[in-house]
């Protein structure tokens, strides 16, 4: 299982939100580019970069930061936030991202995401499934959709999706532990899926439980920024 550090950006600064609420944000005294360089020096190979300004604006806003991280590190970057059309997707790839997470657009415009899978390949497009009480949410977790999680995953598996980032909204940013039981159920139902956990990871024990559940990866944000998880604890997952 791979550890994927997360950097969330608002107005050029690193932040963490609680349950996706912009009013409950915590700013960190860390430059995103410098932090990415430090993560690479620590041995990380992957980065989950979230443009929260872009998510709110409906278009990528922090492309320059993406470009700087891509040019100054060798991190494999998955970008999310504001990618609502093919032009924006191409801008993100041109700026240096290796993968893009399709979240709200996967609900609103499945035909667009299907074309992306056909054109760019499933290794470039990750499905973002943000879930609360079994329902898929979009628009920064503000809007409940008609999709239940499992039919949503089944639909996109049939379209060619291979990798899914599944966020348990109720846990995100709260350091209350990961939704291991949910992830076990997903993997049992869809054993071919490359599942990445997101939300709530707060200890090395969480990571061990996720690895035992056979997840492909785990996104870790606040726990790394606040040293709840140390490099000594996770060195076996890094690299």
Say how far apart CA 72 and CA 87 lie, in whole Å.
24
- Which residue numbers are catalytic? 8, 130
Beta-carbon contacts of 115 under 8 Å, excluding residues fewer than 6 positions away, are 86
Contact 64, 93 (CB under 8 A): no
- pLDDT average, residue stretch 31-53: 93
In the chain, where the domains are located: 2-237
Say how far apart CA 212 and CA 214 lie, in whole Å.
5
pTM for this prediction: 0.90
pLDDT one-digit tens code per residue, 108-150: 999 999 999 999 999 999 999 999 989 999 876 678 999 999 9
* pLDDT at residue number 11: 87
pLDDT one-digit tens code per residue, 169-217: 876 555 567 899 999 999 999 999 999 999 888 888 889 999 999 999 9
Does residue 74 have a pLDDT over 60? yes
* pLDDT at residue number 228: 81
Beta pairing partners, 218: 3, 197
Does residue 19 have a pLDDT over 60? no
Two structure tokens written together for 98: 């290796």
Taking only Cα atoms into account, the Rg of the chain, rounded to an integer number of angstroms, comes to: 16
* pLDDT at residue number 142: 74
Homologous superfamily (CATH) of 2-237 is: Aldolase class I (3.20.20.70)
Does residue 2 have a pLDDT over 60? yes
Where residue 13 falls among pLDDT bands split at 50, 70, 90?
confident
């Amino acid at each position: 299982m791979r550890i994927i550090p997360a950097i969330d950006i608002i107005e050029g600064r690193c932040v963490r939100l609680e349950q996706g609420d912009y009013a409950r944000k915590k700013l960190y005294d860390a430059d995103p580019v410098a932090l990415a360089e430090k993560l690479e020096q620590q041995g990380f190979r992957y980065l989950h970069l979230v443009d929260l300004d872009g998510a709110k604006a409906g278009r990528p806003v922090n492309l320059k930061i993406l470009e700087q991280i891509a040019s100054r590190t060798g991190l494999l970057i998955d970008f999310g936030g504001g990618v609502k059309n093919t032009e924006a997707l191409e801008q993100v790839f041109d700026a240096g991202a290796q993968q893009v997470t399709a979240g709200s657009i996967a609900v609103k415009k499945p035909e667009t995401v299907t074309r992306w899978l056909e054109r760019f390949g499933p290794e470039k497009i990750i499905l973002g499934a943000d879930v609360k009480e079994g329902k898929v949410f979009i628009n920064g977790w503000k809007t409940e959709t008609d999709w239940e999680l499992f039919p949503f995953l089944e639909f996109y598996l049939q379209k060619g999706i291979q990798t899914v980032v599944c966020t348990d909204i109720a846990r995100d940013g709260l350091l209350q532990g990961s939704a291991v039981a949910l992830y076990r159920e997903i993997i049992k139902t869809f054993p071919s899926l490359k599942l990445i956990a997101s939300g709530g990871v707060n200890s090395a024990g969480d990571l061990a439980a996720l690895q035992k559940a056979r997840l492909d990866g785990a996104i870790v944000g606040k726990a790394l920024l606040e040293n709840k998880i140390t490099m000594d604890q996770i060195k076996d997952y890094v690299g």
